[in-house]
Every structure is written in structure tokens, then in C-alpha cells.
Structure 1
Amino acid sequence: MRAEIRHVTEYRYAEPVWDSFNEIRLHPARDERQNVLAFDIRVTPDVPVTVHRDYFGGLIHHVHVHEPHTLLRIEARTLVVTYPSRPPTPAPVSSLTPHREPHVEYLLASPRVPTGSWPEVFGARRPQPDDDLPTFLLDLTRYLYRRFQYTPGATDVRTSLSDFAGTGRGVCQDYAHAMLGILRTVGIPARYVSGYIYAGADFVGAEASHAWVEAFIPGSGWTGYDPTNNTAVVEAHVKIGHGRDYSDVSPISGHYHGNTRGVLDVEVKVYDQ
């Protein structure tokens, strides 16, 4: 799929603020499943933009607005091409044993995925050593899709996994964190993925940044699953980056000096070319 993405973020302030520092994670990854053909970022007020790669390999843009301002507008435009994912090869769950230590950071607790008995909390089945790992991952994806109701506005970035389990309503971020909690508890390395999804494929989550999970499968590597949409990752998914959870790959984060709170507005459009 060849897609054009327009992502606009605006912060409006009732009174001037200054020294606004922001980290922007909107540049899609380049890997075997996708390639970035063009990327442009524009900031209002007009200030220089610097860039570096973070610990997880993601491309991060930095913006510092020193002078007082009542509007911060960040617009990113991307042209990307994605390819079909290769089906993972069969592998028993027991084959993960030698791979757990190299990927231990994706098995440990993280800020938004704490230690817990998450399979029991969410009513999910624990795998057996001889279970086929790709089959288990797809079954869990389907289970979480049926277990919860996609409800924009029902949760926010502060909602805990326990609260999500109790209400049964949330968005892609919650689905991804739930799957991460279950997989890490049963010893399957898993990481959080931030990106976009094309709504024309009858998927939900295209109105903003999307989130899903990548699990490690011996012989296949990191493989994506989207429990919000009951599917393995397909061409409609555009990956930005990955980390332990949302905290590592939030699209825009930062701080500023001032005595007022900003009003946030985000618009995301993904066009299939």
C-alpha cells in the first residue's frame, strides 16, 4: 500500500507560554515491511528542528520554542509504502527459552504495564509448552477483540490496566497494554508499537495515532498483532516505532513554562494513493 499521512497537532494557550521543549515521534520506521519515501515537518512558531535516534532506534525530532507564544502547531506529512507481512513459521512456545534473556527488557514490568496476574485478570488462557506460538498469539488477539469494546474517550493515558479490565471499554492503547501484560506474564517477549492505520480497510483507530503489539517468534522475529482490529498486522498498518509501552513512543511529549494549561487538538488523515 502506498499512503500519504497528514498528522496535525495544535496546542492553544489562553495566556502566553515560553521555553516549550517537545520531542516528536512521527517519522515512520524503515524496515522489511515498509519504506519512507518522503517526510516533512513544519512547526509554528517557525523554529529549528533537530533530530536523533532514541534507545529503541526510533527517529526523534526536537523542537524548542523559546519566545512567548499562545499557539504551538506541529504538522507532519509522510509518504510511505508498505508491503504484506510474511506469515510466521510454526514454533512451539517452548522454543522461546533461549530467546528470553536477549529480550528481557520486553519481559519486565514497565511504567504502564506493571507486574500482575494479567492472564487471570483478563480471563485469558495461558499457553502450554507444546502450543504453536503463532496460533496462540492470533487466538489471544481474537480473544481480546471480543473481550473489550472499542470506545473512544472511555480512557486516557492515565487509565490503568486494572481499570480497563473492569470497565471493558477503551482504545487501541488499552488493548495493546492488555496484550503486553498477558504475554510478558507468560514469558513471551512483547513490545508496544505506535503508528497509523488506514481506515479504508474497515479498521478502527484511524482518527488518531494507532497502537498494536509485536511479539517475538523464534525463526520469524518480531511479528505484529492488532487486538483492537482482530488481525495480524497487514499493509494497512504503518509503524512509527516501538518501546516497552506508550511511555516510550508517545507521538509528542514535552513541557513548557507558563501559568496556563494548553488545549490540545489532533487531526490524523491517512490517504491510500
Structure 2
Amino acid sequence: MLLTVDHVTRYIYDQPVRAVVQSHRLTPSVFEGQRTLRWEVTVSDGMRGGTFKDGAGDWIEGWSVQGPVSEITVRVQGEVETRDLAGVLKGHREVISPEAYLRKTIATEVDTELAKLAVGLATDENPLSAAHELSSRIAEAIEYTAGSTTSSTTAAEAMALGRGVCQDHAHALIAVARHIGMPARYVSGYLLADNEGKKHEAAHAWAEIYISSLGWVGFDPSNSCCPDDRYIRLGSGFDAQDAAPIRGTTRGPGEESLAVIVSVQTQQ
């Protein structure tokens, strides 16, 4: 499938700030399931800094803006050809051991209620089936409800609430998977909107679980599926904060507000 992306993030400050430094994880991953045909990241009044590929195989790019500045626009435009690999991350080069993703974070701490979701899973007999079943249990336990949580909501809090968004589904799946000894990580990317009533936004998140016989496999509880050719993978991390497409710091007293518009379309 041929997917086009137009992603605009606008930072507005209530008074001019002296400088802004950002780290971007906004470049599509390189693996057999997707091929980048065209891709451009621009930052208004920005200066591109260093770039490198990290141990997880993600492309990191630095940007800086010298002030005084009251508004910054980060725009991503591109075209990616995708293939459905049933969620398997084939041909992705990375050097970090999967066991590193057993590490807990605040967002992925397991409490008693989350741990109950792992009861009866046959992880030793068939880890892939167990991962599918766990993803289904997460989707049933946490109803997708737009706007019901915030960026700081933890997996345990979303579980107690019984509602959440894709970030909460991914955090909960990661938390329980790690609890039962399955390496898991958070993935950020894009998802093609459709006309079938799917509950998602174009800027999307899901989880990957490491299956020894297959490698990393993606699971999206929000849409009850594995990532297919409607998905564009950007990068991964221990949780949403670690995998954020844009991270940064600001020098100055100005309060920041954010506006995001994301469009993903297909030419087929």
C-alpha cells in the first residue's frame, strides 16, 4: 500500500522563549514491511543538528531554534510503501538485547488487577498465541474512549478506570507481558484512517512483544489486530515518553501550548 503523511505540530508560547532544542524520532523504520519513497522533516526557523541511529535501530535527529521565538512549527511530509507482514518486524537491524525490554518504568508498573490478566496464559507452550490472547484481554478490560486519559496516565490507572486510548492499551500490554517474562516495548507511528468505524487516530501507538521463534511482533489492542500495511512504524522505547516522536527543552519563562494535525492517506 502507498501511504502519504502530512503531520504538523505547532508549539505556541505565551511569551517569547530564548531557545528550543528538540530530538526527533520522526523517520520511518527500515525493515521489510515498509520502504520510504519520500520523507522530509522541517522546523520553522530551525537548524538541523546531529543525526544518528540508536541501538534500537531508530533514526534520531536533533534540531535547535534560536529565539526570541513565540511559535515553532514542525512539519513531516512523506510517502511510504508498506506491506502486511502480520505484525512481524522482519529485517530490522538493532543491537539492543530483547531482555533489556523487561525493565519496568513508572508508566508500565503492574498492579494486582493488571496481573490478573495474565492468569492461565500458556507462555511456555505457545508464546505467540499467549501474546494474542493477552492483547485481546487488554482490549476487553480497557475500553477505547478518546480523551478519557492524559499523557501521564499509567497502565494501572487506565486499568482501574476501565477506559483509555492507544497509549494506555500499549502500556498495559507491555506491563503484563514484562510481568510474565516476555520482553515488550512501546512503538510510535501512523495509522491510515478508514471508513470501517475503527477507533483510532492517524498518530498512533502500539506494542511489540519478543517471540523467540519470530523476533519482535506488533500487537495493537486498540484495533484488535497486528500492525499491517495500514501502519507506518517510526520508533520504539520502554514506554510512551521514551518513544516520543518529538522530545525537547525550552529556555525561557513562556508557557507552551500544542496543536497537532495528522493526515494519513492512501493512493490505492
TM-score (norm 2): 0.89
Identity of aligned residues (%): 30
Residue identity matched to 2:224: N
Residue identity matched to 1:214: E
* Partner residue, 1:52: 52
Deviation at 1:81, TM superposition (A): 1.0
1:216 to 2:224 alignment: no
* Partner residue, 2:264: 270
Residue identity matched to 1:159: T
Q: The residue matched to 2:108 in structure 1 has which SS?
A: coil
1:114 paired residue among 82, 105, 109: 109
Q: The residue matched to 2:5 in structure 1 has which SS?
A: strand
The answer for unaligned runs of 5 or more in structure 1 is 89-100
Cα distance change on mapping 1:254 and 1:174 into 2, 3 Å:
same
Q: The residue matched to 1:68 in structure 2 has which SS?
A: strand
* Partner residue, 1:93: none
* Partner residue, 2:91: none
Distance 2:112 2:181 in 1: 12
Deviates more, 1:54-63 or 1:4-13: 54-63
**Structural RMSD (CA):** 2.0
The answer for unaligned runs of 5 or more in structure 2 is 89-95
Deviation at 1:73, TM superposition (A): 0.3
Deviation at 1:116, TM superposition (A): 4.4
* Partner residue, 1:16: 16
* Partner residue, 1:183: 177
Q: Deviations over 1:13-69 (max 9, x none)?
A: 121112101111111101011111111111112433542223322112211111210
Q: Is the Cα–Cα contact under 8 Å of residues 127 and 186 in structure 1 kept in the other structure?
A: no
Q: Is the Cα–Cα contact under 8 Å of residues 225 and 232 in structure 1 kept in the other structure?
A: yes
Q: Is the Cα–Cα contact under 8 Å of residues 114 and 172 in structure 2 kept in the other structure?
A: no
2:224 paired residue among 230, 244, 250: 230
Deviation at 1:255, TM superposition (A): 1.1
Alignment map for 1:103-252 (pairs within 5 Å):
103-114=98-109, 116-117=111-112, 119-120=114-115, 123-128=117-122, 130-200=124-194, 202=196, 203-207=198-202, 209-252=203-246
Q: Deviations over 1:75-96 (max 9, x none)?
A: 01121111111587xxxxxxxx
Distance 1:120 1:256 in 2: 39
Cα distance change on mapping 1:102 and 1:174 into 2, 3 Å:
same
The number of residue pairs the alignment matches comes to: 259
Residue identity matched to 1:21: V
